[in-house]
């Protein structure tokens, strides 16, 4: 059963409050007891998600020295001595200043008593630090950004070079412990007797002239960074700070990073993508790869290599980082070879090791072919092949820039062959759209996958009149099945997935309304729950991108603008009072997810850039 959700609580009489910040200080240790931010300055600073623990034993005392000015002193020393820590609060910033003083030794580790701590209850706030982390170390280089989803951001800088924050997050805890995100501002040392950290509220988003004057886009400005979370125990981008790393989402992070938004001096969103790509290319495994700690079976997901190739290509094209391209070219070229080598029939389509046949159901021990890991995608997977096409085109352009003429010809020939086979194999004459997969027995499995057909259009697998016809059919089907509340997001599939094409969990009698696992053969009892047709924001970006690409701006806005209302209300993260996550919801708005927060739910915010350009 899901754990009960600790919801945000009201900030109890904060020690400092402005329209941008509310701060409380722990009286027994250098730490925040309350912390809330509204980077837009709207005064939405009532909630408090801080996990505040008393020190044992107590080493310090807190003293107020003026309006917004506080000092921490050694417990039994007078105020005439230099404070261990000084906290200065202003309307838009907090300054933490540490003066070195020798104290009794404390246990080594990430949570030293001498550091200034900030700890969040993660189920109440999925906070993250965004910046560069050295491989293998739970340390975040300064400068960096502290981002609180649906609340805002603070840019963190330091008074001396080389500063690093301690950073940790964990979701696998036993009661009475709770999930947490923890960060430590290290104290001054004998070598560096005074250290200062400055936390300044910031609104960080792609520059779109005039957008700040349209309140409909306030959620975009506040929440753009919701698309990024750095995992401290992996030093990479992932689903959220304590979740998994997933190589099949690198291309999504690269899409978000392509705008190259400045986080701090010398640090941009694209740097987070490069950091993550470097780790994968060095051999780090993630979910969907053989050898990762959460096993998915004996086959690597079919969308892993396409995502890694496309993610690297998108990073290079958006940053023009050709030095990195030259350095990593051999590793990415090897991924292209590995991806194309799965084409066991020679028809141009990449393959997955499972059959995809009806009733050859995936299990928790042998997952299907891609991100949609409860649906029986197998053998020839249309989603993975759409990514593969885009990846081949993107990396072919990189090869051309680097003057690898033979590789250019090879990659472009492979892309053309894949595109031709895609139309021949996946276009379903009965529905007029692309099916989800073609199984080993030759059957097409078509559940009106909106996300898949949208990606095929957005990434150029299909163009012109056929692309418009497919989109016409998808939008008509959306209306026919009665889905009109776009504030919930979009369903991945528009009709129920039949029992033989959905995962078989260990409990054969599991309630279908939990994860959509049907008991009925026609799948209707599992619809629309979780991956079996529930609404989510995760892949809605690609429907929006497809519409903008086709010039169908009004259709795109009819979907996007209600989503922006949901973003403004903070509806896509957190848990209901039964501990069920809002990252998936049925068509009535009932929660049916589990992550609590998933960066993919905020990708549709990228469509605001397309919308603004269409004006």
pLDDT per residue over 137-158, tens digit each?
999 999 999 999 999 999 999 9
Q: Quote helix, strand, coil % in the chain, to nearest 5.
A: 30, 20, 45
- From residue 528, give the alpha-carbon distance in Å to each of 69, 427, 606: 53, 25, 26
pLDDT of residue 113: 59
The pLDDT of 21-31, averaged and rounded, is 95
Give the range among 49-58, 445-454, 534-543 with minimum mean pLDDT.
49-58
Say whether pLDDT at 75 is over 90. Answer: no
Say whether pLDDT at 160 is over 80. Answer: yes
Torsion over CA: 429, 430, 435, 440 (sign): negative
Say whether pLDDT at 547 is over 60. Answer: yes
Share of the chain above pLDDT 70, in %: 96
Q: pLDDT of 358-374, one tens digit each? A: 999 999 999 999 999 99
pLDDT of residue 57: 77
Say whether pLDDT at 509 is over 90. Answer: no
Q: pLDDT of 186-196, one tens digit each? A: 999 999 999 99
Say whether pLDDT at 527 is over 90. Answer: yes
Q: Do residues 467 and 545 touch, judged by C-beta distance below 8 A? A: no
Q: Give kind and range of the element (H or E) at residue 155.
A: strand 152-158
114 vs 32: CA distance, rounded Å: 14
Q: pLDDT of 105-135, one tens digit each? A: 555 444 455 899 999 999 999 999 999 999 9
The pLDDT of 594-605, averaged and rounded, is 96
pTM score: 0.95
Q: Which of 240, 272, 250, 227 is nearest to 169 (CA)?
A: 240
Please tell me what DSSP assigns to residue 440: T
């Amino acid at each position: 059963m899901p754990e009960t959700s600790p919801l945000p609580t009201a900030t109890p009489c904060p020690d400092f409050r402005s329209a941008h910040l509310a701060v409380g200080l722990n009286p027994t240790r250098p730490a925040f007891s309350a912390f809330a931010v509204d980077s837009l300055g709207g005064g939405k600073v009532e909630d408090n998600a801080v996990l505040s623990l008393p020190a044992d034993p107590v080493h310090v005392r807190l003293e107020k020295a003026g309006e917004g000015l506080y000092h921490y002193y050694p417990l039994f020393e007078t105020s005439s001595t230099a404070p261990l820590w000084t906290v200065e609060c202003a309307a838009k910033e907090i300054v933490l200043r540490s003066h070195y003083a020798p104290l009794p030794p404390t246990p080594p580790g990430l949570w030293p008593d001498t550091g200034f701590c900030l700890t969040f209850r993660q189920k109440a706030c999925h906070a993250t630090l965004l910046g560069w982390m050295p491989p293998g170390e739970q340390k975040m280089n300064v400068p960096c950004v502290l981002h609180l989803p649906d609340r805002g951001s603070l840019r963190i800088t330091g008074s001396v070079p080389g500063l690093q924050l301690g950073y940790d997050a964990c979701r696998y805890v036993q009661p009475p412990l709770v999930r947490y995100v923890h960060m430590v501002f290290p104290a001054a040392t004998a070598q560096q007797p005074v250290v200062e950290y400055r936390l300044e509220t910031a609104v960080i988003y792609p520059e779109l002239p005039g957008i700040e004057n349209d309140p409909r886009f306030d959620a975009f400005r506040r929440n753009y960074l919701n698309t990024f979370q750095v995992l401290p125990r992996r030093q990479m981008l992932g689903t959220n700070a304590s979740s998994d790393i997933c190589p099949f989402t690198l291309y999504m992070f690269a899409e978000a990073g392509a705008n190259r938004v400045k986080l701090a001096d010398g640090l941009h969103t694209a740097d987070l993508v490069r950091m993550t790509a470097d780790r994968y290319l060095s051999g780090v495994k993630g979910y969907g790869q053989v050898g990762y700690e959460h096993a998915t079976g004996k086959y690597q997901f079919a969308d892993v290599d396409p995502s890694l190739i496309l993610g690297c290509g998108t990073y290079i094209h958006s940053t023009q980082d050709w030095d990195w391209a030259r350095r990593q070219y051999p590793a990415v070229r090897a991924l292209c070879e590995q991806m194309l080598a799965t084409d066991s029939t020679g028809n141009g389509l990449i393959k997955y090791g499972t059959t995809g046949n009806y009733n050859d159901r995936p299990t928790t021990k042998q997952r299907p072919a891609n991100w949609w890991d409860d649906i029986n995608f197998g053998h020839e997977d249309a989603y993975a092949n759409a990514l593969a096409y885009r990846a081949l085109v993107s990396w072919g352009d990189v090869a051309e820039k680097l003057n690898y003429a033979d590789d250019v010809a090879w990659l472009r020939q492979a892309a053309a062959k894949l595109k031709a086979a895609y139309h021949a194999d996946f276009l379903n004459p009965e529905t007029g759209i692309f099916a989800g997969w073609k199984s080993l027995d030759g059957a097409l499995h078509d559940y009106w996958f909106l996300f898949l057909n949208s990606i095929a259009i957005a990434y150029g697998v299909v163009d012109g009149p056929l692309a418009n016809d497919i989109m016409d059919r998808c939008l008509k089907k959306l209306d026919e099945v009665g889905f009109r509340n776009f504030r919930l997001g979009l369903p991945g599939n528009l009709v129920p997935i039949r029992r033989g094409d959905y995962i078989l969990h260990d409990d054969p009698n599991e309630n279908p309304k939990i994860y959509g696992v049907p008991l009925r053969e026609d799948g209707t009892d599992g619809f629309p729950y979780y991956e079996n047709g529930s609404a989510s924001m995760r892949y809605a970006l690609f429907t929006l991108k497809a519409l903008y690409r086709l010039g169908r701006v009004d259709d795109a806005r009819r979907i996007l603008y209600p989503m922006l209302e949901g973003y403004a209300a903070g509806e896509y993260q957190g848990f209901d009072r039964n501990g069920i996550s809002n990252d998936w919801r049925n068509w009535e708005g009932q929660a049916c997810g589990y992550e609590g927060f998933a960066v993919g739910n905020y990708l549709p915010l990228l469509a605001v850039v397309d919308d603004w350009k269409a004006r």
